[in-house]
């Protein structure tokens, strides 16, 4: 297989510089008894360390595509390359042990303890017991579950969200470079799902895996994806960054699928940290500078509690709402609507005001800071 091991970087507009970890070449799947291909002539490359979201209406072939990467479904035609190596015909079971896999209902083995569930793949790979136990604890820690509490429990003693965390830990156990996720947060209530998504991004920042992620939730795709692949009846309609998919849909299908509200969805792509915010003053200095800058009243720890002065506004009659700077414009709009306020104070991790975002900024144009395109 030496001729295939040195796969060169495929030219992609954004993945330049990063080698492709997963490459699908002319991959096709026709299910027995069907004349219509479920996936037809698919070419796709996923650069190392990126999260690619596969999205589309049900029956569009996104799940089939995902399952062909670890050959749970055998492709009818085409080639699959993992890290430059052709894996189209290697032993499927061996291959799958080197690829993390997370599914919707968690799929934890009910008769295995949590630690044993996480240790499933390492055990097959012949790790010694001590190392497996250490790894399980390490991963439980990573996914935010206290090892001493959860190690010896059984899946049914855990909530859906906790089970899904264990599912992610299990997929990470043997430290595979690639992870496949099939609607992992699909069956979880919205609040927990949101938290799991945040944690998932945190984990990804530490582990830097190459991830293919199937979802039917556009919100999720936009939030988690470095790229989004939109599928329609077995074909890849658009494969681009979330921003591009939302603002420049490749065709009618994609724009129909993205649907109305693309502009609103895009707000969640704009991180407050990257925006040029209006300055804000705290009251110590404010006495001298009663100009156009809003002034906030702070408590003992420096957290804003109310508005002292609003240029051209009623400071006493305006509710004080805050949003963390780690959030997005979407979050800022959410708090403003919720608090019936026309402006919001953006605060840092200690809760100190860093700047102000006005309702008018949304329609007047948001300015990003230099260095952030």
Which C-beta is closer to another protein: that of 95 or that of 280? 95
Q: How far is the CB of 187 from another protein (least distance, A)?
A: 10
Taking CB under 8 A as the rule, does residue 218 contact another protein? no
Give the contacts of 49 (CB within 8 A, at least 6 positions apart): 18, 21, 208, 209, 210
Pick the binder of another protein from 108, 136, 296, 323 (CB under 8 A).
108
Which C-beta is closer to another protein: that of 50 or that of 116? 116
Taking the C-alpha atoms of residue 235 and residue 233, their distance in angstroms, rounded to an integer, is 6
Taking CB under 8 A as the rule, does residue 101 contact another protein? yes
Name the segment binding another protein (CB under 8 A); options: 74-82, 100-108, 272-280, 327-335. Answer: 100-108
Give the contacts of 73 (CB within 8 A, at least 6 positions apart): 29, 64, 67
Pick the binder of another protein from 15, 75, 78, 167 (CB under 8 A).
167
* Under 8 Å between Cβ of 352 and 299: no
Name the segment binding another protein (CB under 8 A); options: 28-36, 190-198, 274-282, 307-315. Answer: 28-36
Taking the C-alpha atoms of residue 322 and residue 288, their distance in angstroms, rounded to an integer, is 25
CB count, 10 Å around CB of 103?
A: 19
Q: How far is the CB of 72 from another protein (least distance, A)?
A: 6
Taking CB under 8 A as the rule, does residue 68 contact another protein? no
Which C-beta is closer to another protein: that of 18 or that of 96? 96
Taking CB under 8 A as the rule, does residue 359 contact another protein? no
Q: How far is the CB of 133 from another protein (least distance, A)?
A: 18
Which C-beta is closer to another protein: that of 101 or that of 330? 101
Binding mask 36-65 for another protein (x = CB under 8 A): x-----------------------------
Taking CB under 8 A as the rule, does residue 110 contact another protein? yes
* Under 8 Å between Cβ of 65 and 30: no
Taking CB under 8 A as the rule, does residue 245 contact another protein? no
In DSSP notation, 251-262 reads SHHHHHHH-TTH
Q: How far is the CB of 300 from another protein (least distance, A)?
A: 51
* Under 8 Å between Cβ of 280 and 353: yes
Taking the C-alpha atoms of residue 134 and residue 42, their distance in angstroms, rounded to an integer, is 41
Give CA separation, 185 vs 32, 206, 261, 284, 318, in Å.
Answer: 30, 20, 23, 47, 38
Pick the binder of another protein from 105, 247, 318, 326 (CB under 8 A).
105
Taking the C-alpha atoms of residue 260 and residue 247, their distance in angstroms, rounded to an integer, is 11
Taking CB under 8 A as the rule, does residue 221 contact another protein? no
- Only one residue has tokens 């925006």, namely 275
Taking the C-alpha atoms of residue 114 and residue 137, their distance in angstroms, rounded to an integer, is 10
Q: What share of the chain is helix, strand, coil (3-state, %, to 5)?
A: 35, 25, 40
Taking CB under 8 A as the rule, does residue 155 contact another protein? yes
> Among residue numbers 72 through 91, which ones bind another protein (CB under 8 A)?
72
Taking CB under 8 A as the rule, does residue 97 contact another protein? yes
- Beta-carbon-side half-sphere exposure of residue 259 (alpha carbons within 13 Å): 8
Q: How far is the CB of 239 from another protein (least distance, A)?
A: 14
Binding-site size, another protein (CB under 8 A): 42
* Under 8 Å between Cβ of 38 and 31: yes
Contact residues for another protein, defined by CB under 8 A: 32-33, 35-36, 70, 72, 93-98, 101-113, 120-121, 124, 154-156, 167, 170, 180, 232-233, 235, 237, 251-253, 256
């Amino acid at each position: 297989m030496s001729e295939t091991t040195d796969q060169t970087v495929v030219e992609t507009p954004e993945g330049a510089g990063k080698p492709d970890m997963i490459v699908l070449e002319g991959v096709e799947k026709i299910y027995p008894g069907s004349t219509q291909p479920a996936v037809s002539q698919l070419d796709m490359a996923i650069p190392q360390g990126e999260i690619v979201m596969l999205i589309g209406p049900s029956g569009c072939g996104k799940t089939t595509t995902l399952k062909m990467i670890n050959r749970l479904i055998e492709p009818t035609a085409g080639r699959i390359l993992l890290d430059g190596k052709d894996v189209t015909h290697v032993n499927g079971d061996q291959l799958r042990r080197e690829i993390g896999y997370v599914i919707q209902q968690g799929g934890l083995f009910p008769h295995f303890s949590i630690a044993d569930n996480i240790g499933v793949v390492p055990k097959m790979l012949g790790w010694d017991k001590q190392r497996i136990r250490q790894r399980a604890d390490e991963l439980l820690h990573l996914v935010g579950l206290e090892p001493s509490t959860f190690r010896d429990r059984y899946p049914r003693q855990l909530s859906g969200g906790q089970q899904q965390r264990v599912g992610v830990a299990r997929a990470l156990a043997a430290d595979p470079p690639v992870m496949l996720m099939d609607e992992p947060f699909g069956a979880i209530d919205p609040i927990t799902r949101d938290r799991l998504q945040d944690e998932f991004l945190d984990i990804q920042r530490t582990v830097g895996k190459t991830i293919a992620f199937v979802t039917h939730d556009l919100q999720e795709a936009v939030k988690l994806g470095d790229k989004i692949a939109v599928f329609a009846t077995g074909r890849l309609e658009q494969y681009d960054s979330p921003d591009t998919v939302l603002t420049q849909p490749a065709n009618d299908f994609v724009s129909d699928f993205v649907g109305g509200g693309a502009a609103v969805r895009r707000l969640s792509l704009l991180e407050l940290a990257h925006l040029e915010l209006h300055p804000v003053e705290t009251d110590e200095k404010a006495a001298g500078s009663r100009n156009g800058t809003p002034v906030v009243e702070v408590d003992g720890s420096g957290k804003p509690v109310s508005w002292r002065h609003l240029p051209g506004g009623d400071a006493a009659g305006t509710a004080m709402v805050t949003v963390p700077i780690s959030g997005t414009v979407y979050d800022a709009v959410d708090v403003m609507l919720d608090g019936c306020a026309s402006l919001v104070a953006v605060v840092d991790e200690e809760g100190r005001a860093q700047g102000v975002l006005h309702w008018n900024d949304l329609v007047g144009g948001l300015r990003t800071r230099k260095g952030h395109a």
